[in-house]
Chains A and B, each alone.
Chain A
Amino acid sequence: MRLRKKARQPLLHLLLIPFCLVWSYPFVWMLFSSLKTNVEYVGAGLRLLPESFQWENYSRAWTVARFSDYFQNSVVITVSSVLIVLVVSALAGYSLGRGELPGKRWILLGMAALMFIPKGYTIIPVFQVIKHLGLLNTIPGVILAESSGAHVIFILLFMAFYRDLPKELEEAAEIDGAGFIRTFGQVMLPLSKPVLTTAGIMQFIFTWNSFFVPLVFTLNKPELRTLAVGMYSFAGENSVDYTGMAAGAAIALVPVVCVFVLFQRYFVDGIAGSVKG
């Protein structure tokens, strides 16, 4: 029996909307909890809305709990890491997509093999490497540790993009007397803005949400913590300041959610691309 065409739309919406509400309820609840007082929170039961908006929870998290420091660290580390990764992957992707590489097959095979090796247990040697570089307990050290990795997905994305650009562009640049670098810098790279954005957004979200690496590398210096690590320590130390923690969580999550909502097309395209590859 076929559903009447007209009924299909509203029926689906009727299904989807409550589902999505429940789906996103943890965030909603967290946001509203951050505006309650602690006493209110403990006795809240099901009540979502606070009596009055306690913005001072946010200022407490920002100053007393040092979320301002953590925020700054997260921004610095994430932005730097994104820049490094973009540069490294774009260069490599261009080389693989348009460069002349005898032995390219082996390089690609090696990259594919690397994709399967987990990062987890290499944290100890990475720690030692950073130590030998004298960058332990510094922001650059964390940035470096975060930017490490083979970035196979990004390189593949760049590689595919550059490869698919018409040869005429290259030829035209050659006629103008441009060498390898100029061709790349002035012609190809600007054209790859979509891939740059996609890779940039993906790396941004990945680094912003990173927990394990910053945890390990900021054990020694609480001032260097990122938001995720700071939140974890805050929860451990102030186990009874629930609304302060909710405010802190909001501070930590809102930026990445905003970035995502604004640029979601790119992010989704990137994910879709990775599964095809």
Chain B
Amino acid sequence: MSIRRKRKIAWSYLFLAPQFVLLVAFTIYPILMSYVYSLYDWSGIGPLDDFVGLSNFRAVLEDSSFWNAFRNNMIYMFFLTVLSLPTTFVAALILNLKFLRGRTAYRTLLFLPVVTTAAIIGIVLKFIFGNDNALFNNVLISLGILKEPVGWLADPTKAMIVLIAVGVWKLFGMIMIYWLAGLQSLPSEVFDAAKMDGAGYLATVRYLTIPLLLPVATVILLLTALNGMHVFDMVTTLTGGGPYFATDMVDLYIYRYVFASGGFPQMGYASAAGIIFGLSIFALSVLLGGLVRVSGGKKARAEAGLGG
């Protein structure tokens, strides 16, 4: 091996070093330590000395509040995905129409909620939904849809509906862009050929666009689902997990044990809950990732080239 090559290798590794250091210190070490903490009964203050083995895990799995939060996460994620994907697809189709003027403006506007701070949106929307006198109620009453104001955030089902609706609204632009990217990566020759054969717009969509987009669709599905697992910001500010834990999510549940207001925190217990949650997310990703594999995702990626 020439000296030049050796030098190049050395520099290459050196360039990787900063990221590697950050990775070890702030990703790998914490993940390992969180496993360690989960085996102790520790308040985060003072020495780590109360080894309890797997009893934290058992306690988490036996806690109905945990499952309540978990179930809420699943419900949220499910509806988020089911509602977002078709609607964003249609929006992407519309915004992909070459003859439509002002596409960029529409795209920007629809995308706006994505870049806003979730925590602040939560607070603003709490005003809009949260009161008898609130904007949403007033609008619905004036439109004649409601006769009396509804306590949107005071009812468990309604609060979840509001949360899901807001979640869709906030994520909409992002998923729409995913679809757009997918649409724009489709080879135009196929569509030109179809046009020449006299195929109408809807038929093209149904028989060409959708099948061709299937691999991308499953990637989008995966990304959307994962997005629905971490909703701390929005839920904390909009509903606080209420009413009465009806919109409680696992993120909040864990937070309660770490930053407890009723005494010293229980870091070990919280770590165990976090690990259980992390493992289930992993399982979900594997499941959905398998779907990607099956629908030829690999091939599509190879075609598009790694990293657009």
A and B touch in the complex (CB under 8 A): yes
Inter-chain pairs besides A45-B133, A245-B123, 12 sampled, C-beta below 8 Å: A20-B110, A26-B125, A46-B139, A88-B19, A91-B15, A99-B9, A124-B30, A209-B118, A211-B232, A260-B115, A272-B178, A272-B181
Q: A26-B125, A272-B181 are in contact. Are A211 and B233 (CB under 8 A)?
A: yes
Given A42-B133, A232-B119, A253-B116, A212 and B233 contact (CB-CB distance below 8 Å): yes
Q: Does B220 contact A (CB under 8 A)?
A: yes
Confirm or deny: A160 has a beta carbon within 8 angstroms of a beta carbon on chain B: yes
Q: Is the interface of B mostly helix, strand, loop or mixed?
A: helix
Least distance between A215 CB and chain B CB atoms (Å) = 8
Residue of B nearest to A12 (CB): B100
Q: Is the CB of B18 within 8 A of A91?
A: yes
Say yes or no: A216-B8 contact (C-beta < 8 A), given A89-B19, A252-B117.
no
* Contact of A106 with B by CB under 8 A: no
The answer to whether the Cβ of B214 comes within 8 Å of any Cβ in the partner chain is no
Query: By the criterion CB–CB under 8 Å, are A145 and B99 in contact?
Result: no
* Contact mask for chain A residues 109-135; partner B; CB cutoff 8 A; 1 contact, 0 none: 000001011101111111011000000
In the complex, A157 Cα to B306 Cα: how many Å? 9
Is B9's CB under 8 angstroms from A102's CB? yes
B residues within 8 A CB of A148? 22, 25-27
The 7 A-B residue pairs with the shortest CB-CB distance, nearest first, are: A121-B274, A99-B12, A160-B307, A148-B26, A272-B181, A125-B30, A276-B308
**Which chain A residues lie closer than 8 Å to B110 at the CB level?**
20, 23
Could you list which residues of chain B lie within 8 angstroms of chain A, going by C-beta atoms? Answer: 5, 7-9, 11-13, 15-16, 18-19, 22-23, 25-27, 29-34, 37, 44, 94, 97, 99-102, 106-113, 115-121, 123-128, 133, 135, 138-139, 142, 169, 174, 177-178, 180-182, 184-185, 200, 216, 219-220, 223, 229-230, 232-233, 236-237, 251, 254, 258-259, 267, 270-271, 273-275, 277-278, 281-282, 285, 301, 304-308
Residues of A with C-beta under 8 A to B111: 260, 264, 268
Q: Are A121 and B277 in contact (CB under 8 A)?
A: yes
A91–B181 contact, CB under 8 A?
no
Select one of A46, A147, A273 contacting B142, CB under 8 A.
Answer: A46
Looking at the complex, which one of B27, B94, B117, B304 makes contact with A208 (CB distance below 8 Å)? B117
Min CB distance B262 to A, Å, is 16
A277 contacts B by Cβ under 8 Å: yes
A sample of 10 inter-chain contacts (CB < 8 A) reads A9-B100, A88-B19, A116-B285, A121-B273, A122-B31, A124-B30, A124-B34, A124-B267, A129-B26, A245-B127
In the bound complex, residues from chain B placing their C-beta under 8 Å from that of A196 are none
Q: Determine if A275 and B27 form an interchain contact, defined as CB atoms under 8 angstroms apart.
A: no
Which residues from B are CB-within-8-Å of A107? 16
* Chain A min CB distance to B162 (Å): 12
Partner pick for B120 among A121, A122, A231, A260, CB 8 A cutoff: A231
Which of A2, A160, A180 is close to B11, meaning CB atoms less than 8 Å apart? Answer: A180
- Given A120-B278, A125-B29, are A150 and B138 neighbors across the interface (CB < 8 Å)? no
* Cα separation A161 to B94 with both chains bound (whole Å): 30
- Is the pair B308, A212 in contact by a Cβ cutoff of 8 Å? no
In the assembled complex, A256 has its CB within 8 A of some CB on chain B: yes
- Among B19, B33, B97, B274, the residue within 8 A (CB) of A91 is B19
- Given A88-B18, A125-B29, A118 and B13 contact (CB-CB distance below 8 Å): no
Closest A residue to B286 using CB positions? A116
A257 touches B (CB below 8 Å) = yes
CB distance from B147 to the nearest CB of A (A): 16
Question: B26, A157: Cβ atoms under 8 Å?
Answer: no
CB of A65 within 8 Å of the partner chain: no
